[in-house]
Structure 1
């Protein structure tokens, strides 16, 4: 557990939450400030700051729990689809405990997860791909 972490407090049972699912590695609960009905958060029980840097077993457990929770939300709420996302770093939020949002989507919801898009120049794409491959291979 980590001092001053809202999610660690929920995991410890020191802060109330509407738990949807839990297992030995993860906990899923309804977001206290949901974008839509059923907006859920899936967190690792261990305090980790970023889903992209945790060990493989915990990462797999978080995504398996997201799949399980989405199945339950699908049966209970009959949404038109789902958005699932993770953000990290100081620019995107105040909670420093890794979490995955699972958001049921409805045709009339006001959720906007749109990204400004541009064309990717072939030279730029090749340069980025080369840099990433070099890092991964070496």
Structure 2
């Protein structure tokens, strides 16, 4: 896409601190990191959603995230990782699918909390039935 920053990075038209370049995926440091080592794993193809991309692309993103995490574990020695992927207009302004890989360190100040409610008694069965039909 003409105005997509990630497409420009993938094509080499815009600079980024690349950690990995593969046939289907690139991984680079986030220009505005939440923590040291915050990495974006991005498919080369412009797709809106990693989870809904073709199987090869989704697998390549997952395998690349794993490879980068293993390298980070050896070099940065984080206490753990946070990994997330978001889509849609409600969650950000980048329409090119990407996965965030964040090495976590004690006291890093990063908060990724979810507001939670108890699952209603009737919901589990209904959800299992409805979603299961799609599987």
Q: Which runs of 4+ in 1 moved over 2 A?
A: none
Residue 37 in structure 1 maps to residue 41 in structure 2:
no
Q: Offset of 1:95 from its aligned partner?
A: 0.4
Equivalent pairs counted in the alignment come to 135
Kindly report which structure 2 residues correspond to 1:14-53, keeping only aligned pairs within 5 A, or say none.
14-53=13-52
Return the alpha-carbon distance in structure 2 between the equivalents of residues 122 and 21 of structure 1.
Answer: 46
Return the alpha-carbon distance in structure 1 between the equivalents of residues 110 and 88 of structure 2.
Answer: 22
TM-score by length of 2: 0.97
Return the alpha-carbon distance in structure 2 between the equivalents of residues 59 and 135 of structure 1.
Answer: 19
Residue 122 in structure 1 maps to residue 125 in structure 2:
no
Residue 67 in structure 1 maps to residue 50 in structure 2:
no
Root mean square deviation, CA, Å: 0.8
TM-score by length of 1: 0.95
Kindly report which structure 2 residues correspond to 1:95-134, keeping only aligned pairs within 5 A, or say none.
95-134=94-133
